[in-house]
Amino acid sequence: MPDVRRVVLPASVFALAILAFELAARAGLTPVTIAAPSAVLAGMASHGGLLWYHLEPTLLVAVTGFLLAILLALALAALVYVVKPLETTVMTIGTVIDSIPMIAIAPVLVIWMGLSLPMRLTITTIICLFPIFISVLQGLKSPPSTANELFTNLAASPLQRFRLLAIPYALPYLFVGLKIAAPLAILGALIAEWTGAERGLGVYMLNAMFGLRVIELWSGVFLACAVSASAYMLVCLFELLSITDSGRRGVGS
């Protein structure tokens, strides 16, 4: 019952805000750059095919880049966990790469790989990699010292310690990283398209912006927001399914 109330209040505020926008736009109170929600929806409905045409490559890059980043981050975190002296080196390199502005990395990547799918995947993977890596590593190191001593006392092998202690402790942390990275994957795909592409949601948005097509731009942005919010919620759903005891969900957030 309280759960329902927690949703109803914000949902009705949201609905009211949309309604207010709609009325204001109809009454001509808003600037021309603000589109009425109904017009955006109608535009999306009538351009459904075109939107999907542009959304598809973006989704492909975002999902593939995200999965690549997960694999790389897990491998890297496991490596650093096993070979402890590597930690400072990897962290330093990671921090430096993470702090170089993407708009500086992107041109270099374009020179290397051209305006290609691998280039777009690389941009997306770079953006997602570091947050996942950091959280997983933190999780692998999170078992309390007495739990480690327990495994020492039981003469567990390094592999048993990794499998039965470190990995389960790291699982909630993995989801913290994934929740940060999932929306970033969409962003990475968009940025990659902004450096130059023929198809993609990012291209659609930029073209609409340059052509001052207000409704098209609003639908593109709305779609981007909806997709990244869905990505986030999908990760939450996976977390709900894979971590069954609620006490361990959402660590550190």
Partner 1 sequence: MEQLTVRGVCKRFEIDGRSVEVLSPTDLTLKAGEFGALIGPSGCGKSTLLRMIADILPPSDGTILIGGHEPARARREHEIGFVFQDPTLLPWRSVLDNVRLPLELVGNSARLSGSTPQELIDLVGLSGFEHARPGQLSGGMQQRAAIARALILSPQLLLLDEPFGALDEITRYRMNMELLRIRAETRTTSLMVTHSIQEAVFMADRIFVLAARPGRIVDVVEVEVERPRKLSVMNSPEFAAAVDRVRTSLFGDALGMLDDA
Partner 2 sequence: MSGTVAAVRRRHNPFAGAGRIAAHRIGNFLAFLLALGLIWQLLVTVFAIPRYLLPPPPAVLAAFGGHGGAILQAAGFTVLCTSIGMVISVVIAITLAIAFIASDRLSRALMPLIILIRTVPMIAVAPLIILIFGRGPANSIGMVALLTFFQIMLAAKRGFLSPSPNAMEMMHTYGASFWQIQLKVRVPFAIPYIFTGLRIASGSAILCAMFAEWLSGAPGLGMLILESYSVQDFPLMWAAVLTSTTAAYLFFTLTLAMERLVLDWSR
Which chain residues interact with partner 2 by CB under 8 A? 6-7, 9-10, 13-14, 31, 33-34, 99-104, 107-108, 111-112, 179, 183-184, 186-187, 190-191, 194, 205-206, 208-209, 212, 214, 217-218, 220-221, 224-225, 228-229, 232
* Cβ-contact 62, 124 below 8 angstroms: yes
Residue closer to partner 2 by CB (options 167, 206) is: 206
Q: How far is the CB of 145 from partner 1 (least distance, A)?
A: 10
Q: How far is the CB of 252 from partner 1 (least distance, A)?
A: 16
Q: Which does 168 bind (CB under 5 to 8 A by kind): partner 1, partner 2, none?
A: partner 1
Residue closer to partner 2 by CB (options 99, 246) is: 99
Q: Which does 220 bind (CB under 5 to 8 A by kind): partner 1, partner 2, none?
A: partner 2
What's the burial of 28, exposed, middle or buried (CB within 10 Å: 0-12/13-18/19+)? exposed
**Which residues are at the interface with partner 1 (CB under 8 A)?**
144, 146-147, 149-156, 160, 164-165, 168, 243-245, 247-248
Residue closer to partner 2 by CB (options 2, 85) is: 2
CA 151 remoteness from chain centre = 35
Sequence-distant contacts of 239-243: CB under 8 A, at least 24 apart: 239/172, 239/175, 239/178, 239/179, 242/171, 243/171, 243/172, 243/175
Q: How far is the CB of 176 from partner 2 (least distance, A)?
A: 13
Q: How far is the CB of 250 from partner 1 (least distance, A)?
A: 14
Residue closer to partner 2 by CB (options 121, 231) is: 231
Q: How far is the CB of 163 from partner 2 (least distance, A)?
A: 32
Q: Which does 99 bind (CB under 5 to 8 A by kind): partner 2, partner 1, none?
A: partner 2
Q: Which does 217 bind (CB under 5 to 8 A by kind): partner 1, partner 2, none?
A: partner 2
- Find all residues with CB under 8 Å of 36, minimum gap 6, and list them: 21, 22, 25, 26
Task: Report phi then psi at 61, rounded to 5.
Answer: -65, -45
Q: Which does 136 bind (CB under 5 to 8 A by kind): partner 2, partner 1, none?
A: none
The CA distance from 102 to 61, in Å, is 17
Q: Which does 1 bind (CB under 5 to 8 A by kind): partner 1, partner 2, none?
A: none
Residue whose tokens read 């990012």: 202
The CA distance from 67 to 88, in Å, is 25
Residue closer to partner 2 by CB (options 27, 104) is: 104
Residue closer to partner 2 by CB (options 126, 184) is: 184
